[in-house]
Structure 1
């Protein structure tokens, strides 16, 4: 799918949203009235509860990530509610599964939008792109699970980590050392053509230019599962490393096919491209040998007390679930939203505008996992640091730390020219 068709799909979805909402809501009611404790209360807020929306993938290609993230988010909210809630109110999650389908996400948004104070989670770059105009019109804060730089600068769509472009710039500096790249060498770049892969491509092109290496670009569709054609092309080109932005199933195919055909080069992937379930596939040996993951979140085997507590709490509540990094995303989503609601309560304004304004006061937000983030400026990613992780069986979460959180030497230049 090219960028024009992606944009057309987003516009079609936006048009569908208008048709779905025109008769029922006729514009969001974002007005606020004083409620319990003299606190203004907008949509989704009563004297006893605050309802947050969640649009995620529980049945599609990234369902393992969506499910884990949602469960961790619910776990944190249950703990908060058991301690008395926020502003004397219990925090509730109103969840809808979009199956990673843009049209389904648009329809689900139209259904729940009038009932929620904010979106505690909105998973998917394409889904978010289709809803951006509606989020702004409805003045509805949404914590976004797709970290494309195209989301930066929107007042009400907030990514919580760093961008896919920053992940690539930081990660490819590591990859250049791991592959011992020299000027003139070729590096493969396999990416989904859309907001996700497109942002990663911008970062990869910048990093390649700084290293003096040549990118060999290959696109994939989100629904593609066989990477044989891409690997064949990269092997013929003589690449010495590969950068990748896709889904976990595509990762297993890419790395597995590369190893099977003798293309034994390191692969650097964006954070959404890996789940530990891949270590249960025949690609396991190749993944442990060749794959690296660039991520703003630490590995789950981290010695950080916040990570260890999250893992222990999650395993206690969901003993049969396989751990993956998405639980960190869900936990940060939940903590960020709770801290935002607390700030809004302190300002006595739980209206939608009040909630968004409260988020912008969080300049030193402790994400509970060893990182501090700045949410004061919607035009900037809250953090620029990323880890480099590597698949490893027998390790909590299936990833071990290869390089601690840091930034590439050229990242400041990249941010000044590419805006994330």
Structure 2
């Protein structure tokens, strides 16, 4: 995990402790305790969630609601990470404990769960759901608790303790339009449909697609839907009437399956490109599987779980051993990657001498080339900018581990940097 060797850390702390003793002997008024925490084992300042032997992390997930499969995969992967870290002695000579709370994608339950775990957690390793994250933002900022949402809206950028990992929905859709023009024959003057959820997810994705379409001379035909909409027959009919040559979708797996399945059955056999939350390997067991394999591609900041990448292979092997009956999907990769990134932040904070929450956030922002070996490195130094701007293109595959395989390796779509400059996010 690119951690500083423990022997070096101990030497640093011994030196710091000796310096402190010298100051005290000289009659200085240096304090071992202030309003942000007190010095504990190893000369490390602590705070909520930190004892001399333990670092506690909170996890607000969905194990019983619409994203239960995702929540289970993320939670299992992060528990696996904690077990692995603890077997090697922990972080900062402290064992990791993760307190998991299931909110079932219910905002009120999530708010109650936050109040239960936040007071005794140094960070939140996952918060599933854009509505949940939105409801908790004020508390997260007030508490200065490093939080990794399982949401990728650009509206979450610029908030110091909140870290969107990888790309944002708008950057993904810029890559999606680029893929359509490069690889699928879509050209100037063509119409491209965009089916999207109302709310931050869809709105941010549409922002990217409309910008990219304008640059490419394309026309976006909008179709806004609700997360409760499961039959997209009406939207397919509208897109067919508009004579679109391709479709973008920023929704959930159920909506993607409906869109592609209905489109194929009605003769609208055009390329479909989705944000990665719009796909689940479970769709390969549905009636829409053949159409999905033939028509769909997904834009993702992370590779497929069957990627020929040493770190990904190692993760898959460990996960299959730890959870032999559980599927290995993108949630496993996302959860494990996030846990590794949190581990890097905690190691950096330890090296800096403080595990107080605000200092963990500062340490996290000092990671400008965070490489977990699970994809592209990420830069957390600019709070306004996405941590990464490179995207893979994936496609569904019923025969591939995780139900997807790589079509194109990670690349930065043309225009992304110009877009970020225009939006003040460069």
Structure 2 residues not aligned, in runs of 5+? 1-33
User: Hey, what does 2:333 align to over in structure 1?
Assistant: 328
1:381 paired to 2:386 = yes
Q: Is the 8 A contact 1:228 1:257 kept in 2?
A: yes
**TM-score, length of structure 2 as denominator length:** 0.90
* CA–CA separation in structure 2 for the residues paired with 1:370 and 1:110: 34
Deviation at 1:419, TM superposition (A): 4.8
Deviates more, 1:276-285 or 1:311-320: 311-320
Measured against aligned partners, the alpha-carbon deviations of 1:322-356 in whole angstroms (never above 9, x if no partner) come to 12111111111110111111111111101011111
What is the SS of the residue equivalent to 2:152?
Answer: coil
Deviation at 1:95, TM superposition (A): 0.8
User: Hey, what does 1:291 align to over in structure 2?
Assistant: 296
Measured against aligned partners, the alpha-carbon deviations of 1:35-56 in whole angstroms (never above 9, x if no partner) come to 1111111001111111111111
Q: Is the 8 A contact 1:44 1:50 kept in 2?
A: yes
* CA–CA separation in structure 2 for the residues paired with 1:43 and 1:180: 55
* CA–CA separation in structure 2 for the residues paired with 1:30 and 1:121: 28
Deviation at 1:367, TM superposition (A): 2.1
Q: Is the 8 A contact 1:30 1:352 kept in 2?
A: no
What is the SS of the residue equivalent to 1:172?
Answer: helix
Large movers: runs of 4+ above 6 Å? none
**TM-score, length of structure 1 as denominator length:** 0.91
1:163 paired to 2:168 = yes
Measured against aligned partners, the alpha-carbon deviations of 1:136-191 in whole angstroms (never above 9, x if no partner) come to 11111101110100011001111111101111101210022333112221111000
Structure 1 residues not aligned, in runs of 5+? 1-28
Measured against aligned partners, the alpha-carbon deviations of 1:229-255 in whole angstroms (never above 9, x if no partner) come to 111111111111000011111111111
* CA–CA separation in structure 1 for the residues paired with 2:74 and 2:182: 33
Q: Is the 8 A contact 2:49 2:122 kept in 1?
A: yes
Q: Is the 8 A contact 2:250 2:278 kept in 1?
A: yes
Deviation at 1:278, TM superposition (A): 0.3
User: Hey, what does 1:106 align to over in structure 2?
Assistant: 111
Q: Which of the numbers 407, 412, 416 marks the counterpart of 1:411? A: 416
User: Hey, what does 1:62 align to over in structure 2?
Assistant: 67
What is the SS of the residue equivalent to 1:165?
Answer: helix
RMSD across aligned C-alpha pairs, in angstroms?
1.3
Higher Rg of the two aligned structures: 2
1:258 paired to 2:263 = yes
Q: Is the 8 A contact 1:60 1:99 kept in 2?
A: yes
For residues 218-367 of structure 1, what are the structure 2 equivalents within 5 Å?
218-367=223-372
Q: Which of the numbers 148, 163, 182 marks the counterpart of 2:153? A: 148
Measured against aligned partners, the alpha-carbon deviations of 1:280-304 in whole angstroms (never above 9, x if no partner) come to 0000000000000000000111111
Deviation at 1:106, TM superposition (A): 1.5
Judged with a 3 Å threshold, the aligned counterparts in structure 2 of structure 1 residues 320 and 198 are, in CA distance, closer, same or farther, namely same
* CA–CA separation in structure 2 for the residues paired with 1:383 and 1:114: 31
For residues 65-144 of structure 1, what are the structure 2 equivalents within 5 Å?
65-144=70-149
Q: Is the 8 A contact 1:389 1:399 kept in 2?
A: yes
How many residues are matched?
392
